[in-house]
Structure 1
Amino acid sequence: MEVVQMWECRISNGQTIIPIFYDISPSDVKHQAGHFETSFRQHEKDGVSSNTIIKWKEVLRQIGGLSGYHLDNVYGGHESQLVKGVLRRVRQLLKKDDQVVTDKLVGIDLHVREMMRKLGVVYNDGRAIEVCGQDVRVVGICGMPGVGKTTLAKVVFNKMHLLFDECSFLPGINSKGITFSQEMLIADLQKEKPAPLRSSDEGTKEIASLFSRMKVLIVLDDLHEVEQAKALAEKLSWFGPGSRIIVTTSMRNVLDGFDNRPTKKYKVEPMRYHHALQLFRKHAFQGDALQDVSEYDYLSTDIVKATGGLPLAIVVAASYLCNNKDDIRIWRNTLEFLKDHQANEVEAAFRVGYDSLDVPTRKIFLDIACFFIGKHERILSYMWEACGYYPARGIKCLREMHFLEIGENNEFRMHDLLRDFGRKLVERKDLHERCRIWNHSDAVSVLKDSKDTRNVEGIGLAVEEGCIVCFTCEEFHKMSNLRYLRLDRANIQGNTENLLPNLRWLEWSACRLISDLANMHLKKLVILDLSWSPVTEDSQVWRQIMEKVDELKVLNLQGCVQLPASLNFRAPINLEILILEDCTQLSQIGPFISDLKNLSSLNLRKCIGVRQLPQDLCCMKSLRELLIDGTGIYSICFSEGSLENLEILSACDCQYLQDISTIGRLRSLSSLALDGADIDGLPYTVELLQKLRRLSLRNCWKLGKLPTSIGKLELLEVMDLSYTGIMKMPWSVKDLKNLKTLKMAHTPLRKFPEDMVNLKNLEEIDFSSCRNLGVKFAVIFQDYPL
């Protein structure tokens, strides 16, 4: 009768029944055999009604078919193991191990599916079905602070922890300490109260010995150091077959602390605008109707843009406004506040990472935030090396923390909120005590004031075109520690002798009087940018300047249209980057170029008068980058052994370029771009470019086919053949084993080798507007996992 009542509760209220078959067979219960059969006969003799007996039998039949626990068969009669199994099941059903997650999530499904794929978990209709394979796997969730890494880990954990023997979610490891985290991990997996450990070494030994036969799911949240990873899960053999470890971190290098194996990574990016707006509305409005919908919508849009798609910033702002839905003035003030400030929670998240940086890396971070977003990584490194800031180390650290990104053209990128965070750190000091000043009006105020400004390391003065602004030498003499100066369109009056002795980078675009440079102290200068200035090679002043800058590494003369047709000035012998882009009068480069033994990059882009490459280039062993896009070059001819270290050759939009017959002699090329060239094919010797990773022939209309030797470029990863005349690909493309991206949009392609499906590294294929490709092509790629 009790079992009948349980079953009725299950039917009417959805309650859960867990049968425990203790000294009885589930089959006997289901079919009423053995003692059950004997008991029912006795009930019949005792006069129990047939309807009641039928009801009892039916319920027992249903109970016997449920998934339960059989002491004899499953646990071999060990009651303690049975108790542990039942306890585990009850905890799972009651969701005792579930992490608390808001019900206002937006756009999480795509992230969850990708995480399940990397974890090797079968995932359908929002449910984790099965863990594939017996390997122990680590997957790291990385991204900048506040982007939602922990939230994603919680959602994934809740969906899949039922598939494991035991599970543990260790929050905030970085703030709790290693030993405490070890104690909690051991307690979670053993389902016991935490026991104190004497040291982290003891904890490591405990973990290594206890769980090697247990299939576990572990989340290590907010790891910051490799030592934390090693103390908790250094060896994957510490855990049983099929175990999974999820790590959330803002430091990518901590993912290298697991068994010296490559760790799968999933990077969480800031939210796209439509998802960010949806998240904001869920938290700010919560379904309430508003009176002035139009203005609230307008403000919502601008507030979301001000947060930069960072979930933490969105939720903080929206939650505050939720309590002030009826006061439009607060919404307006909040928008203005967010344009100049950050919520405390957001700043705190950034501050943890910033405080962990060493002093040189902090300086690099602040330099980028204040001045150098969009600037080329290599150019900036020269200044930081000269200042002793160890740029290779610092940039790597900032990238691993997701404080910094490097774009496709090696330019620095930084999230707007991180940029603002860095600038606010500088602005907290009084204007005259700040180390960096990027605002023009602030810079003018500091220069015009008589106060000491030795703290200033960088200053930006951007004068609008058409304005005439003059500064005196006395104003700059106070800035003895200045290492970066931007002086667009401004003049300096007075005696410039020994001015700015520690200057490393002078950015003086559209400088009106080159003579202002003649007497300046330029001995430590490593970067000189005089783009769009009246520079002429025959100027005595220019020769004086060049004699001073012995340490110069980068010379930018972009747009210096007064440079004569034949350029042959004495250049610093240590120069490594020479930029002559947009020097439209230039047609020849004299033999001085061969004296630049250290030159690694030569930029001649849009020098339309240049029709042939200097012969002296051939012997330049340090040259690694040659940019001749938009020039009048008609032939790229090199002798055997020329430019033996050249890695990048960009000759896009060279509409007269026809002869590339000797391109195969550039054996070190990794990137070749000939977009828009007047070529009708590639030489067969292209197979000699064994280091080539990127090949772009976009807009080469005359190009009708590729040589079969193209298949020998085993390292090729990207090939862009869009807007060419290629109708058929050679069979050898099947051998491009490392190809990741193939673009052939707007080509007359008719047929494609079916063996192409064997290229397992393919990630992107673009055949848009290839109207001659038939249905068969679609069938070939229908199951391809792009």
Structure 2
Amino acid sequence: MNLKDSLLLFSRYAFKGEQPPSELAALSSDIVTTTGGLPLALVIIGSFLKGKDQSIWIETRVKLRKVPHTDVQQKLRISYDSLEYEEQQMFLDIACFFIGINKIFATYLWEDLQYCPNSGLERMIELSLMKIDDNNELRMHDQLRDLGRAIACPANKKPWKCSRLWDEKTIIVQQSKEENKNIEALCLDEYGSNMFMKRWSFKRMPYLKFLRLSKVNFVGDFEDSLSELRWLEWEECPNSFKAINVHLEKLVMLDLSDGNISECWGGWSSIKMERLKVLNLFNCLHLKRTPNLSTLKSLEILILEKCHNLEEIDSSIGDVKCLVSLNLSDCGDLRELPSQLGNLRNLVSLNLSTCQQLQELLKEISQLKELKELIIDEVCIKEIPPWISSLKKLEILSAQACDSLVGLPDSISHLVNLLTLDSRFCSNFEGFPGSIGSLVKLQYLLLGNECLPPKEDDDLETHWYWDYNYCLNHIPHSIGKLELLTELHLTCAKKFRNYLNPSGT
């Protein structure tokens, strides 16, 4: 970038878009010139210097002048070096393995390692070293990813001396007979996974905390192995299991998504994992019934999304008292839920979308007093039962494309914390009860075929967007009590002539 545009970009991050103050004007120009006009470097260094004392600006200029113009990574490393040790470890984890991973999953790992993930992520975002996208996934610029990987495994360093390994470097380590005490994270493809198992490499990695495997089976005696493992991703895990003494007491994340496992998989009873927080069974098509979950006392997140052949939820789910999130979306063969679901008194999120065989909502759901999110999109229910009023903490109720749904019960007025009510694409939806005016906290009421996007300068906390595209019979007069309502779109306006004044405006 040219000098003028470079200074504008730098100022956006260093001074929140303002012009540099007089005492920092010359320093700003020097630093911008020294970066060579590299946009990412301007963003990173500007973020780093924001609010810093002038002495830090001078030191940074000195450091930058020592770095050749072509060495981008060294310029970016200035911000990395400013992080605390634990924050640096989190940065390296993201760069090497966690790009595109849900923030919550990574947080479980970091908390178990006694890090401070919330403040660490906030610090990295403040320095523009990473960001969290709209799907709550961790993201990082490619050049910062490359920087992190170069730090974790420098080209001039023996692989077994590095903390994190992936690709072909893992093969070199596996061929070594030395104990690899430095290695904490390992990412293996199919070939590397098979060699890893054949050579019993895991026995020489006593501090391994992260392991990603592919298309390989556990066979043999695992005593005194993987005792520090916190995270296990097992791509296309086979249904056979021939290992003994697999004690993963410290495991917090088990990802078996896209696996070939069934409810008869030997790992369910053989692997000891009492501290497990997340179990991801996404797209496990051989699973017809959930396994016995009674031993997973610490489990907080259970993902069964796209388990298309799942027919039954085992009653042991009622023993998982710590469960916070249950995702059953797109389980097309699931016909009913067990009554023991009502025992999950800590459940915050329940996703039943596209469970098209479900005909009604289980009454025991009314016992879930902590529930904040209920997703029932494309479920063939005819009504939302009156007991919905028991869910006092509910904030999000989504019932998109529920074609049999005619309306809502009067008792919905008791959902005093409801923020979002979404009933788009409900073709037989006739209208709302008069009690809807009692939902004083409601911010988003989404109806019809789409929700109009807010203008960029709109305050999302104080606006509703209401779009009617289906043939509702009436709008209750209590809508006048909704003081936050700022936009009302009536596509089928002919049906609402009684709401217009004589002039037709």
TM class by shorter-chain length?
Answer: 0.7 to 0.9
Q: Does 1:445 align with 2:157?
A: no
Q: SS at the partner of 1:672?
A: strand
Quick one: which of 544, 554, 560 aligns to 2:270? Answer: 544
Q: Does 1:663 align with 2:408?
A: no
Using the TM superposition, give the Cα deviation of residue 713 of structure 1 relative to its aligned residue in structure 2, in angstroms: 2.6
- The structure with the larger Rg is 1
Q: Does 1:684 align with 2:410?
A: yes
| Aligned residue number for residue 410 of structure 1 | 136
Q: SS at the partner of 1:623?
A: coil
Q: Does 1:562 align with 2:286?
A: yes
Aligned positions of 1:267-306 closer than 5 A: none
1:378-425 Cα shifts (integer Å, max 9, x gaps): 222221122122222222222333323223332222233322222222
Quick one: which of 359, 364, 375 aligns to 2:85? Answer: 359
Unaligned runs of 5+ in 1: 1-100, 109-146, 159-166, 177-220, 230-247, 249-341, 726-735, 775-786
Q: Does 1:170 align with 2:24?
A: yes
Using the TM superposition, give the Cα deviation of residue 687 of structure 1 relative to its aligned residue in structure 2, in angstroms: 2.0
CA contact (8 A) 1:701 1:724 kept: no
**Matched letter for residue 448 of structure 1:** Q
CA contact (8 A) 2:12 2:18 kept: no
Q: Does 1:484 align with 2:207?
A: no
How far apart, CA to CA, are the structure 1 residues paired with 2:168 and 2:417?
A: 50
CA contact (8 A) 1:554 1:578 kept: yes
Quick one: which of 421, 426, 434 aligns to 2:162? Answer: 434
Q: Does 1:531 align with 2:254?
A: no
How far apart, CA to CA, are the structure 1 residues paired with 2:151 and 2:226?
A: 25
Q: Does 1:454 align with 2:454?
A: no
| Aligned residue number for residue 595 of structure 1 | 319
**Matched letter for residue 598 of structure 1:** C
Using the TM superposition, give the Cα deviation of residue 639 of structure 1 relative to its aligned residue in structure 2, in angstroms: 5.5
Relative to structure 1, is the Cα distance of residues 103 and 483 closer, same or farther in structure 2, using a 3 angstrom cutoff? closer
Q: Percent identity?
A: 30
Relative to structure 1, is the Cα distance of residues 724 and 658 closer, same or farther in structure 2, using a 3 angstrom cutoff? farther
Q: Which has the higher contact order (CA 8 A, sep 6+)?
A: 2
Relative to structure 1, is the Cα distance of residues 568 and 766 closer, same or farther in structure 2, using a 3 angstrom cutoff? farther
CA contact (8 A) 2:294 2:319 kept: no
Task: Count residues in correspondence.
Answer: 453
Aligned positions of 1:598-613 closer than 5 A: 598-613=322-337
Bigger share in helix: 1
Using the TM superposition, give the Cα deviation of residue 170 of structure 1 relative to its aligned residue in structure 2, in angstroms: 2.9
1:625-658 Cα shifts (integer Å, max 9, x gaps): 111121122212436961000112122232x122
Q: Does 1:721 align with 2:444?
A: no
CA contact (8 A) 1:675 1:700 kept: yes
CA contact (8 A) 1:676 1:699 kept: yes
Aligned positions of 1:176-575 closer than 5 A: 224=49, 344=70, 346-429=72-155, 430=157, 431-438=159-166, 440-463=167-190, 471-512=197-238, 514-538=240-264, 541-545=267-271, 548-565=272-289, 567-575=291-299
**Matched letter for residue 392 of structure 2:** R
How far apart, CA to CA, are the structure 1 residues paired with 2:365 and 2:281?
A: 31
**Matched letter for residue 499 of structure 1:** S
How far apart, CA to CA, are the structure 1 residues paired with 2:462 and 2:411?
A: 20
Using the TM superposition, give the Cα deviation of residue 694 of structure 1 relative to its aligned residue in structure 2, in angstroms: 2.5
Relative to structure 1, is the Cα distance of residues 403 and 671 closer, same or farther in structure 2, using a 3 angstrom cutoff? farther
CA contact (8 A) 2:341 2:365 kept: no
CA contact (8 A) 1:714 1:738 kept: no
Relative to structure 1, is the Cα distance of residues 559 and 473 closer, same or farther in structure 2, using a 3 angstrom cutoff? farther
1:187-234 Cα shifts (integer Å, max 9, x gaps): xxxxxxxxxxxxxxxxxxxxxxxxxxxxxxxxxx867587859xxxxx
How far apart, CA to CA, are the structure 2 residues paired with 1:434 and 1:359?
A: 16
Cα RMSD for the two superposed structures = 4.2
How far apart, CA to CA, are the structure 2 residues paired with 1:223 and 1:538?
A: 53
Bigger drift between 610-619 and 715-724 goes to: 715-724
Using the TM superposition, give the Cα deviation of residue 614 of structure 1 relative to its aligned residue in structure 2, in angstroms: 2.1
**Matched letter for residue 175 of structure 2:** K
**Matched letter for residue 90 of structure 2:** I
| Aligned residue number for residue 43 of structure 2 | none
Q: SS at the partner of 1:744?
A: strand
How far apart, CA to CA, are the structure 2 residues paired with 1:458 and 1:377?
A: 18
How far apart, CA to CA, are the structure 2 residues paired with 1:518 and 1:367?
A: 30
Bigger drift between 623-632 and 656-665 goes to: 656-665
| Aligned residue number for residue 64 of structure 2 | none
How far apart, CA to CA, are the structure 2 residues paired with 1:714 and 1:663?
A: 17
1:658-705 Cα shifts (integer Å, max 9, x gaps): 231232321111222211113122222222222222222222222232
| Aligned residue number for residue 36 of structure 2 | none
CA contact (8 A) 1:582 1:607 kept: yes
How far apart, CA to CA, are the structure 2 residues paired with 1:506 and 1:154?
A: 41
Quick one: which of 369, 374, 396 aligns to 1:644? Answer: 369
How far apart, CA to CA, are the structure 2 residues paired with 1:396 and 1:351?
A: 18
CA contact (8 A) 2:184 2:209 kept: yes
| Aligned residue number for residue 744 of structure 1 | 467
Using the TM superposition, give the Cα deviation of residue 484 of structure 1 relative to its aligned residue in structure 2, in angstroms: 0.5
Q: TM-score, normalised by structure 1?
A: 0.51
| Aligned residue number for residue 61 of structure 2 | none
Q: SS at the partner of 1:663?
A: helix
**Matched letter for residue 686 of structure 1:** I
1:424-480 Cα shifts (integer Å, max 9, x gaps): 222325233221123x3333333234454322211112339xx97773252222222
